[in-house]
């Protein structure tokens, strides 16, 4: 049983629009000790063994309203990332129903979809399409994306010539220009140099003020306490360990 | 630009996505290769020369114009074999992407197949131009003969369509199953190697005993390769009435490919 305990951090106004609704979400994983192969499957069936199962989430019910900044907090292995992936549509629940409204951008890995041999320009298009922007939209925002990333003339150079900071900035720049209505963040975003961090901080502050719904997951309480309007404490045991409720 | 077909936003996005992924495949392949696109003609050409040499002079196969025969069969076969071996482990190789973002998963498979198709079509068009040039300049066909010849070449279109459907269908099946069962990849590379000899690429079907010929039509690639032989060389299909077997098989595999992919792709994240 996954327990969610709600704690309101600050009462910021949000609308009554439900943008994320999870009803009776459960997620089952099948545990394989070796990599899953046909041989293992056949031998398991021959020995009449059942598959080993693990429920990462059980009966999760929640509604997130437009404009809310929601944090999920809990120890490792409680299903935080699984929950985020289900909201993002990367993973699908074994049971239950998810419905979301509006464009979801997940800042889980900014460099996913970059190809080292293509130029920065080509990668902006590829990455933009992968996170769900349309071609016209990328065309329109192309200049802004490049200038925000601050990579200058490197835009026409292949990506393998970039420093890791430059790649990160490019990825982040594409993601925030996608105009997300729902933003998903996994763990504390700690990236780039001082200047870029300040830049991202300003962007987040702007988003916090706007009616953008933010869902973040972390095991650092302070980080969530700073940003969120509501925190859910997650636990797998019957009761939530009081040391986690601060 | 006036759009002929009205597409919904979702369909438009899907098309943009698949075409961008395909362009990535094409561009990334020849980036920093000095000979670039030359490789795409050089590859089957060298393959044809080596094989032609072996089967013409060491183990003679009695087919007229053997080098051309080889080339006409090798082009579609290579497209099929290269696509299948590359798509089968593709979801597994792109696990980073699949675990991090939501996008049409089939784009990974289709982009590989379409980029191979692009290369295949260029090589095919070059071959067709060479053939027509040969008929025009060296064999000096009359105008009517040339028209007939060109009309017969139109048979490449249904052949390409069947080849494409078969490759997509089978790739969706093997790549989807390979996510859970990594043995599939090994099985496919072995199967493709053996499959080559079960397809009339280096030999002609009518050289085999007649009672065994129908069996070969259980392999859809037999029909596809023979259609190319007919379109490009005028060689009649060995057993015309077995074409339907291939068409039914190909459509069935395409259908099941989509079914299996739709069922499995929801849970790719769990297994990668």
What would the pLDDT profile of B180-189 be if each residue is shown by its tens digit? 888 899 999 9
Most confidently predicted of A83-87, B1-5, B26-30: A83-87
Beta bridge partners of A52: A31
The residues, ordered by sequence, that sit 6+ positions from A14 with a Cβ below 8 Å of its Cβ are: A65, A66, A67, A68, A211, A229
B165 or B10, which is more confident: B165
Q: Which residues in chain B touch residue A79, judged by CB atoms under 8 angstroms apart?
A: none
Mean pLDDT of chain B, nearest integer: 88
CB B181 within 8 A of CB B173: no
Which of A36, A38, A134 is facing B271, going by the closest CB pair?
Answer: A36
Other beta carbons less than 10 A from residue B194's beta carbon = 8
How many CA atoms are closer than 13 Å to the CA of A93, on its beta-carbon side? 22
A200 or B261, which is more confident: B261
CB A228 within 8 A of CB A34: no
Least confident of B118-127, B159-168, B222-231: B118-127
Helix or strand or coil: residue B18?
Answer: helix
Mean pLDDT to the nearest integer, A167-191: 80
Q: Residue A242 has what pLDDT?
A: 55
Q: Residue A131 has what pLDDT?
A: 85
**Burial (Cβ within 10 Å: 0-12, 13-18, ≥19) of residue B105:** buried
The answer to whether B100 contacts A90, with C-beta atoms less than 8 Å apart, is yes
For residue A133, pLDDT over 80 is answered with: yes
- DSSP assignment letter at B142: -
Name the pLDDT band for B107 (thresholds 50, 70, 90): very high
- DSSP assignment letter at B2: -
Q: Which residues in chain B touch residue A36, judged by CB atoms under 8 angstroms apart?
A: 180-182, 271
Q: How far apart are the C-alpha atoms of B156 and B154, rounded to whole Å?
A: 5
Given the cut 0.85, state whether the ipTM is greater than it: no
Please give the structure tokens belonging to residue B267: 């849970």
Across chain A, the runs of DSSP E, i.e. the strands, are 3-8, 18-31, 52-65, 69-73, 95-100, 104-107, 182-186, 213-218, 230-235
Model's pTM, two decimal places?
Answer: 0.86
Q: Residue A188 has what pLDDT?
A: 53
How many CA atoms are closer than 13 Å to the CA of B65, on its beta-carbon side? 11
* B180: nearest CA partner in chain A: A36
For residue B41, pLDDT over 80 is answered with: no
Contacting B residues, span 68-107, partner chain A, CB-CB under 8 Å: 96-103
Q: How far is A31 from chain B (nearest CA, A)?
A: 10
Quick check: A115 contacting B, CB < 8 Å? yes
Name the pLDDT band for B171 (thresholds 50, 70, 90): very high
For residue B31, pLDDT over 80 is answered with: no
Q: Residue B77 has what pLDDT?
A: 95
- DSSP assignment letter at B235: P
Q: How far apart are the C-alpha atoms of A186 and A177, rounded to whole Å?
A: 19
Q: How far apart are the C-alpha atoms of A6 and A194, rounded to whole Å?
A: 34
Q: Residue A239 has what pLDDT?
A: 58
The residues, ordered by sequence, that sit 6+ positions from B96 with a Cβ below 8 Å of its Cβ are: A109, A112
The residues, ordered by sequence, that sit 6+ positions from B25 with a Cβ below 8 Å of its Cβ are: B111, B112, B114, B115
For residue A37, pLDDT over 70 is answered with: no
């Amino acid at each position: 049983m996954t327990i969610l305990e709600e704690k309101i951090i600050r009462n910021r106004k949000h609308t009554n629009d439900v943008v994320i609704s999870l009803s009776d979400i459960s997620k089952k994983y099948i545990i394989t000790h070796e990599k899953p192969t046909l041989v293992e499957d056949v031998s398991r069936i021959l020995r009449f063994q059942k598959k080993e199962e693990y429920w990462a989430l059980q009966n999760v019910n929640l509604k997130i309203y437009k404009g809310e900044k929601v944090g999920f907090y809990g120890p490792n292995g409680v299903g935080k990332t699984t929950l985020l992936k289900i909201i993002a549509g990367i993973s699908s629940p074994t049971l239950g129903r998810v419905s979301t409204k509006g464009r979801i951008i997940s800042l889980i890995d900014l460099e996913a979809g970059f190809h080292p041999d293509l130029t920065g320009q080509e990668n902006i298009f590829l990455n933009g399409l992968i996170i769900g922007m349309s071609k016209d939209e990328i065309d329109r925002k192309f200049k802004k994306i490049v200038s925000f990333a601050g990579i200058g003339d490197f835009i026409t150079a292949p990506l393998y010539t970039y420093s890791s900071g430059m790649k990160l900035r490019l990825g982040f720049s594409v993601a925030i220009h996608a105009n997300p209505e729902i933003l998903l963040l996994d763990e504390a975003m700690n990236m780039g140099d001082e200047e870029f961090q300040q830049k991202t901080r300003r962007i987040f502050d702007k988003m916090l003020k706007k009616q953008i719904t933010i869902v973040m997951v972390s095991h650092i309480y302070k980080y969530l306490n700073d940003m969120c309007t509501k925190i859910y404490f997650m636990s797998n045991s019957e009761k939530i360990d009081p040391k986690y409720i601060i | 630009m006036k759009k002929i077909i009205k597409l919904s936003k979702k369909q438009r996005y899907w098309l943009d996505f698949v075409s961008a992924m395909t362009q990535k495949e094409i561009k990334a392949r020849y980036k920093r290769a000095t000979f670039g696109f030359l490789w795409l003609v050089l590859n089957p050409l060298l393959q044809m020369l080596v094989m032609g040499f072996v089967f013409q002079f060491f183990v003679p196969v009695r087919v007229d114009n053997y080098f051309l025969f080889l080339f006409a069969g090798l082009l579609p076969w290579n497209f099929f074999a290269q696509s299948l071996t590359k798509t089968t482990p593709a979801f597994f190789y792109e696990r980073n992407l699949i675990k991090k973002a939501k996008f049409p998963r089939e784009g990974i498979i289709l982009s590989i197949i379409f980029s191979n198709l692009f290369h295949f079509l260029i090589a095919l068009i070059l071959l067709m131009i060479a053939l027509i040039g040969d008929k025009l300049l060296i064999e000096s066909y009359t105008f009517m003969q040339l028209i007939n010849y060109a009309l017969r070449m139109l048979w490449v279109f249904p052949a390409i369509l069947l080849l494409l459907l078969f490759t997509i269908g089978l790739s969706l099946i093997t790549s989807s199953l390979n996510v859970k069962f990594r043995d599939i990849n090994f099985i496919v590379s072995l199967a493709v190697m053996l499959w080559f000899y079960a397809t009339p690429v280096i030999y002609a079907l009518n050289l085999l005993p007649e009672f065994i010929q129908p069996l070969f039509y259980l392999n859809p690639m037999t029909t596809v390769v023979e259609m190319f032989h007919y379109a490009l060389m005028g060689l009649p299909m060995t057993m015309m009435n077995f074409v339907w077997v291939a068409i039914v098989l190909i459509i069935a595999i395409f259908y099941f490919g989509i079914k299996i992919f739709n069922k499995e792709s929801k849970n790719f994240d769990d297994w990668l």
